[in-house]
Structure 1
Amino acid sequence: MSIWDRNLFIRRLELLLPPDADRSQYPFNLKALHQWNELKFHPSVTYIVGENGVGKSTLMEAIAVAWGFNAEGGTKNFNFSTQATHSSLHEHIRLVRGVDKPRDGFFFRAESYYNVATHIDELDREGRGRPIRESYGGKSLHEQSHGESFFAAFVHRFGGHGLYILDEPEAALSPLRQMAMLARIHELVQQGSQFIISTHSPILMAYPDSVLYHLTHEGIDTRTLEETDHFVIMKQFLNNKEKMLHELFEDSQ
């Protein structure tokens, strides 16, 4: 059986941009969105990578909102809005769902995770039922370091058989913690979970049972980890540090 025939929660994304969309206005001014109309998701892990500014976070946000997650992150039960800045792209995509339904789910967005932590504390202060922080290790996320609070969600809140959409989860994680997170992803995949991840970390891109889409201003193509700019540049720097530093400093003069 092909991997694409296995049970999964989201099978593919169909991009349905209106023909009269104003390409001078966000998000329709993102050139990459006009070069493709379908994206297939891997049953285990789908990576969406690329340089800053090509539209990765906009696309991740649209997928999450179209599924029913809060635009700033969290579970489907989170409905707060610190500032309504999300784009309208979710209105122009169609998610083709699988037969199976997830028991769990979470949209992790590094840039707004502070807002999620604040919302959890506010709900816990209201004292309605079991404290939400117990699902994150029993301690307020604001009472932990940035990296510890990130990792608390991955370890304690993610429960398996879930759909997890992660936008730059490595932002506060050391390389060692990134490897630990890779192991945690494997545990959750073994428990029937599906991941969609946008990342700049070659470590997090290394999960073998996956597909890696490289987003550019020209569209999307499929690559291996070793073909990504992230891997190539990091390898060149570590193997030729002195030469790379010399060239960087020469260019800055």
Structure 2
Amino acid sequence: MEALPYLREIVLKRDQINDLGRYPFSIPAVRELDALEFAPDVTFFVGENGSGKSTLMEAIAVALGFNAEGGTKNFNFDTRASHSSLHQHLKTVKSYQRPRDGFFLRAESYFNLATNIEELDQNDPDSLWPPPPPVIDYYGGVSLHEQSHGESFLALMLHRFGGKGLYLLDEPEAALSPTRQLAVLSRMHQLVGDSSQFIIATHSPILLAYPGAWIYQIDSTGISRVNYEDTEHYAVTKAFLNNPEKMLDELFRE
């Protein structure tokens, strides 16, 4: 039996839900969910804003023991308790082997994560001997607030992601240039080669191109697995780059 994927499947515990008409069960992606399998290496969620990608990612992360606002399982800061109850209704089917590393990245709360790291390092370590190394050392040694969002995220992947891990990323491309997205793809490939698994919600046609990845389309009908070339992200980007003048003419036509 293969160790990967560390997270094999999630199952919605429908018998525990009294009302499928209330949030978050009213979201089609959740309402139509029964069981969802994950690839051994990379699984993507794609869909329009509001389709439920982040709600599903958050619920999976919390069900696995991660902090709702991001970080490792050791983080417990809570800036604003806004996550849904969906995690309470998910059954996680895991591998016999646990990952050695793990991280949940949320683009929308990354600032809060960086702030919490600084707060942890400001605590008085005198009660511990020998004193532990600063938390920021595990993230490259430079304050995440003193770097651009894109630079700090790359520092996270290069220094904190150590391999043999389960990494959940919610819209990681938010502050990344196309060149930096390619750098993320390269680092992902290194980590996958070191027995890591990624689950990623994204709008990026660059990240979606990862070879062999499973892509789940989330829309008003629920969740379905699609090919890369069949995603709207690929089709729209390709159409625009092939003939930007024509598409702009269509967009600006009165």
TM-score clears 0.5 = yes
Q: Which residue of 1 aligns with 2:128?
A: none
For structure 1, the 5+ residue unaligned runs are none
Paired residue for 1:32? Answer: 29
Q: 2:5 matched to which residue of 1?
A: 8
Quote the residue 2:235 is aligned against: 232
* Contact 2:173-2:204 at 8 Å conserved across structures: yes
- Aligned identity (percent) is 58
* CA-based RMSD: 1.3
- 2:193 alignment partner in structure 1: 190
Whether 1:86 and 2:49 are equivalent positions in the alignment is no
Partner-residue secondary structure (3-state), 2:109:
helix
Q: How big is the shift at 1:8?
A: 2.1
Please state if 1:21 is matched with 2:19.
yes
Contact 1:7 / 1:99 at 8 angstroms: preserved in 2? no
How many angstroms apart in 2 are the aligned matches of 1:186 and 1:36?
A: 29
Deviation digits for residues 199-220 of structure 1, max 9, x if unmatched? 0001101111321111111011
Secondary structure of 2:169 counterpart: strand
**Is the CA contact 1:200–1:230 (under 8 Å) kept in the aligned structure 2?**
yes
Match of 1:143 among 135, 146, 167: 146
Residues 8 and 99, structure 1, Cα contact 8 Å, conserved in 2 = no
Given candidates 84, 92, 96, the residue that maps to 2:93 is 96
Q: Which residue of 1 aligns with 2:114?
A: 117
Check whether the contact 1:12–1:96 (CA below 8 A) recurs between aligned residues: yes
Residue 129 of structure 2 is matched in structure 1 by none
1:172 matched to 2:175? The reply is yes
Alpha-carbon spacing, 1:124–1:210, altered in 2? closer, same or farther (3 Å): same
Distance 1:127 1:162, change over 3 A: farther
In the aligned structure 2, how far is the partner of 1:151 from the partner of 1:145?
10
1:49 counterpart = 2:52: no
CA distance in structure 2 between the partners assigned to 1:34 and 1:218 by the alignment: 9
Residues paired across the two proteins, number: 247
1:51-110 C-alpha deviation (Å, 9 max, x unpaired): 111100000000000000000000000001000000000001110010111110000000
Q: Which structure 2 residue ranges, 5 or more long, are not aligned?
A: 126-131
Return the offset for 1:223. Answer: 0.9
Amino acid at match of 1:131: P
Distance 2:109 2:133 in 1: 24
Q: Deviations over 1:219-252 (max 9, x none)?
A: 11111111100000000011110111111111xx
One-letter amino acid matched to 1:188: L
Letter paired with 1:115: N
The SS at the match of 2:187 is helix
Contact 1:8 1:100 in 2 (8 A): no
* 8 Å contact from structure 1 (residues 49, 214) kept in 2: yes
Whichever residue aligns with residue 114 of structure 2, its letter is A
* Aligned match of 1:217: 220
| Aligned-partner residue type, residue 165 of structure 1 | L
Q: CA deviation at 1:127?
A: 4.5
SS in 1 for 2:96: coil
C-alpha distance in 1 between matches for 2:4 and 2:145: 37
Q: Which residue of 1 aligns with 2:211?
A: 208
Shift of 1:44: 0.4
Displacement after TM superposition at 1:112 (Å) = 0.3
Residue 64 of structure 1 corresponds to which residue in structure 2? 61
TM-score (norm 2): 0.94
1:249 aligns with 2:252: yes
